[in-house]
């Protein structure tokens, strides 16, 4: 007689924890991350051949991912397992309300559907003349030759540009408003990065000031909305605010005033500093690579000469775009895209526990030697059309990917292309010697402690 043993359900082995970087017993890698976030996270990713590494920030488990596959898993394939971190939401809500950087789920999807068409490749060329005019006006006000900090200058220039693109107005003549904006963005930065990250209702002096600033800014934008309404429908489409006021949901209804305000402030916050940092890095890299600068100047000389740059010129300025894209490869303004696991899940075959913070490390992704040969070298040739097309999917992500991919990417690329051309056309920029400039990550990646340069208007 033969006997068969009762069949047992096959037990699947639980996925293992991701390879762990050893940190201090109590704090994990908190101290290193607090001191120098980008170096700490890049260092962790460099020791992770599979592009996934686990570590702790104090008691909280965290993971950094830095290969095209692991990044795509977090941002696309298993995106529903991750949300924005609680800290990000808490820090951004006071200024940006329920705008796209805060909202999730159906509200987020509905807002993206209505906003994205206004930032499409067909729509953004209408903003080109404004970008060029603002840049030229800004440059013309310099008494040159002059020594400047390029980081501060690019911040002011992009602030002027973004307020024109959004509201057809400038904050620079209104000192109280300009100060409120700077301080409010600084408060947000502090809330996102400080160890304590106290919520706005805690009555500290810093929080009280932030509440006043936020009220000032929101009142200013509300006034714009009211003025537009009373001026009638003709004023729509002159700027992004006009577009958002005139757009309609599928059911024919318009965006509420409160959401209009939230989305305008979100676009402002999401675009101004990212664009400024991208441009500052571009100038810095051009300053340290005379061969690239020479070729760029030649392209502009041959194509545009001394006349004002127009959108139609961009197709004939391919090297200019390659320079901007390569600068964002080496120094992506949004270097770390944060997420938090909302349930137990897996990543690259490893277990991820609910609550784990996940950092999509674009800085290290853009330096994968198997994708980018000699990754530390500044080589705009990598973005020649055929070479760019040959890049693996998800290898270059300055604007993220998936359901939260930057809706302003076409505008940002056009603005970067135009500004790179205008600045090279109108100025000679010479970096001052003896500077030690390092990437520093607060929310965005900026050159620290700034980039001192001698600028001179060309005749
Ligand atoms: C060089 C300039 C820029 C860079 C590097 C950049 C980068 C990014 C990245 C990486 C994300 C994805 C964040 C995530 O997945 O959590 C993002 C989101 C976003 N960006 Fe940009 N951005 C730039 C310019 C702009 C501009 C010009 C606008 C608008 C006019 C804009 C509006 C937004 C908004 C609203 C989001 C949130 C999208 C969502 O969560 O649905 N950005 N940006």
C-beta of 425 in contact with ligand 1 (< 6 A):
no
Stretch 228-257: mean pLDDT, rounded?
Answer: 85
pLDDT: which is higher, 197 or 80: 80
What would the two tokens of residue 315 be?
A: 């197709």
* Least confident segment among 247-261, 306-320, 404-418: 247-261
In whole angstroms, give the CA distance from residue 395 to residue 201.
41
- In percent, the amount of the chain with pLDDT more than 90 equals 70
Stretch 262-270: mean pLDDT, rounded?
Answer: 92
Nearest CA to 29 among 59, 61, 57?
Answer: 57
C-beta of 358 in contact with ligand 1 (< 6 A):
no
The band of 172, judged by pLDDT with boundaries at 50, 70 and 90, is: confident
pLDDT: which is higher, 124 or 36: 124
C-beta of 61 in contact with ligand 1 (< 6 A):
no
The beta strands (E) that lie in 375-423 are given as none
Stretch 191-199: mean pLDDT, rounded?
Answer: 66
Burial 230-258 (b: 16+ CB within 10 A, else e): eeeeebbeebbbbbbbebeeeeeeebeee
Stretch 164-190: mean pLDDT, rounded?
Answer: 79
Nearest CA to 362 among 321, 333, 324?
Answer: 333
Q: ipTM higher than 0.95?
A: yes
Nearest CA to ligand 1 atom 41: 404
Stretch 378-388: mean pLDDT, rounded?
Answer: 98
The DSSP result for 345-382, as a single string, is EEETTEEE-TT-EEEEEHHHHTT-TTTSSSTTS--GGG
Kindly tell me if the per-residue pLDDT of 316 is higher than 80. Answer: yes
In whole angstroms, give the CA distance from residue 399 to residue 402.
10
The band of 423, judged by pLDDT with boundaries at 50, 70 and 90, is: very high
- Winning range, highest mean pLDDT, from 30-39, 258-267, 324-333: 324-333
C-beta of 408 in contact with ligand 1 (< 6 A):
yes
The band of 196, judged by pLDDT with boundaries at 50, 70 and 90, is: low
Nearest CA to 393 among 401, 385, 404?
Answer: 401
Predicted confidence (pLDDT) per residue in 91-121, tens digit: 888 888 999 999 999 999 999 999 999 999 9
pLDDT: which is higher, 185 or 24: 24
Looking from the CA of 300 toward its CB, the CA atoms found within 13 Å total 25
What's the pLDDT at 182? 78
Nearest CA to ligand 1 atom 9: 399
C-beta of 88 in contact with ligand 1 (< 6 A):
no
Kindly tell me if the per-residue pLDDT of 285 is higher than 80. Answer: yes
Kindly tell me if the per-residue pLDDT of 6 is higher than 80. Answer: no
For residue 339, give the H/E element and its range: strand 336-341
Find the farthest-apart pair of alpha carbons in the chain and give their distance in angstroms, rounded.
103
In whole angstroms, give the CA distance from residue 281 to residue 284.
5
- Judge contact between 61 and 93, C-beta under 8 A: no
Kindly tell me if the per-residue pLDDT of 86 is higher than 80. Answer: no
The band of 33, judged by pLDDT with boundaries at 50, 70 and 90, is: confident
Q: Determine if the peptide bond prior to 344 is cis (ω within 30°).
A: no
Nearest CA to 426 among 320, 307, 314, 310?
Answer: 307
Domain boundaries, the chain: 30-457
Nearest CA to 261 among 160, 167, 158?
Answer: 167
What's the pLDDT at 195? 59
User: Ligand 1 centroid vs 272 CA: distance in angstroms?
Assistant: 10
Place of tokens 């686990």: 54
Kindly tell me if the per-residue pLDDT of 174 is higher than 90. Answer: no
270, 331, 333, 441: which to mutate for ligand 1, most atoms within 8 A of CB? 270
The band of 10, judged by pLDDT with boundaries at 50, 70 and 90, is: low
Stretch 141-145: mean pLDDT, rounded?
Answer: 89
Stretch 197-222: mean pLDDT, rounded?
Answer: 85
The band of 188, judged by pLDDT with boundaries at 50, 70 and 90, is: confident
Kindly tell me if the per-residue pLDDT of 193 is higher than 90. Answer: no
Nearest CA to 260 among 232, 229, 230?
Answer: 229
User: Ligand 1 centroid vs 434 CA: distance in angstroms?
Assistant: 34
Kindly tell me if the per-residue pLDDT of 7 is higher than 60. Answer: no
Q: Which CATH number fits domain 30-457: 1.10.630.10, 1.10.287.610, 1.10.150.80, 3.40.50.620?
A: 1.10.630.10
- Winning range, highest mean pLDDT, from 101-105, 175-179, 259-263, 280-284: 280-284
What would the two tokens of residue 317 be?
A: 């300025």
What's the pLDDT at 77? 97
What's the pLDDT at 2? 43
The beta strands (E) that lie in 131-271 are given as 146-149
Q: What are phi and psi of 76, to 5 degrees?
A: -125, -65
What would the two tokens of residue 197 be?
A: 């990250």
How many CB atoms sit inside 10 A of residue 431's CB?
17
**Cα dist. 391→226, 370, 387, 414 in Å?**
47, 11, 7, 21
The DSSP result for 298-321, as a single string, is HHHHHHTTTSPP-GGGGGG-HHHH
* Least confident segment among 112-121, 194-203, 260-269, 398-407: 194-203
**Cα dist. 243→246, 405, 425 in Å?**
5, 21, 32
Q: Determine if the peptide bond prior to 46 is cis (ω within 30°).
A: no
C-beta of 337 in contact with ligand 1 (< 6 A):
yes
- Judge contact between 292 and 286, C-beta under 8 A: yes
- Winning range, highest mean pLDDT, from 239-243, 260-264, 293-297: 293-297
């Amino acid at each position: 007689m033969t006997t068969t043993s009762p069949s047992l359900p096959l037990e699947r082995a639980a996925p293992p924890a991701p390879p762990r970087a050893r940190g201090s017993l109590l704090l994990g890698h908190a101290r290193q991350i607090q001191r120098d976030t980008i170096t700490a996270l890049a260092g962790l990713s460099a020791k992770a051949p599979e592009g996934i590494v686990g570590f702790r920030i104090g008691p909280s488990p965290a993971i950094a991912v830095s290969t095209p596959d692991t990044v795509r898993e977090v941002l696309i394939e298993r995106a529903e397992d991750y949300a924005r971190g609680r800290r990000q939401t808490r820090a951004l809500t006071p200024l940006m309300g329920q705008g796209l950087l805060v909202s999730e789920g159906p509200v987020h999807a509905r807002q993206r559907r209505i906003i994205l068409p206004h930032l499409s490749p067909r729509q953004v060329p209408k903003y080109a003349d404004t970008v060029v005019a603002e840049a030229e006006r800004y440059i013309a006000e310099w008494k040159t030759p002059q020594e400047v900090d390029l980081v501060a200058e690019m911040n002011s220039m992009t602030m002027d540009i973004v307020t024109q693109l959004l509201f057809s107005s400038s904050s620079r003549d209104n000192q109280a408003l300009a100060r409120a904006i700077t301080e409010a963005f600084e408060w947000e930065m502090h809330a996102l990065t400080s160890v304590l990250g106290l919520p706005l209702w805690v009555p500290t002096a810093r929080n009280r000031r932030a509440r006043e600033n936020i009220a000032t800014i929101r009142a200013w934008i509300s006034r714009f909305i009211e003025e537009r309404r009373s001026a009638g429908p003709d004023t729509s489409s002159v700027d992004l605010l006009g577009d958002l006021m005139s757009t309609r949901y599928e059911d024919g209804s318009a965006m509420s005033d409160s959401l209009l305000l939230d989305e305008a402030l979100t676009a402002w916050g999401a675009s101004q500093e990212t664009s400024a940092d991208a441009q500052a890095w571009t100038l810095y890299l051009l300053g340290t690579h005379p061969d690239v600068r020479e070729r760029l100047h030649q392209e502009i000389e041959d194509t545009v000469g001394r006349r004002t740059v127009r959108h139609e010129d961009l197709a004939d300025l391919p090297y200019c775009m390659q320079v901007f894209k390569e600068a964002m490869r080496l120094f992506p303004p949004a270097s770390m895209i944060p997420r938090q696991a909302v349930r137990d899940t897996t990543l690259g075959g490893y277990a991820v526990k609910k609550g784990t913070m996940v950092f999509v490390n674009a800085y290290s992704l853009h330096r994968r030697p198997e994708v980018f040969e000699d990754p530390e070298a500044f080589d705009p040739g990598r973005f020649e059309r055929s070479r760019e097309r040959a890049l693996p999917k998800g290898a270059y992500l300055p604007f993220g990917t998936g359901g939260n991919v930057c809706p302003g990417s076409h505008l940002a690329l056009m603005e970067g292309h135009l500004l790179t051309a205008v600045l090279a056309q109108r100025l000679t920029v010479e970096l001052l010697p003896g500077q030690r400039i390092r990437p520093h990550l607060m929310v965005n990646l900026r050159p620290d402690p700034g980039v001192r340069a001698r600028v001179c208007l060309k005749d």
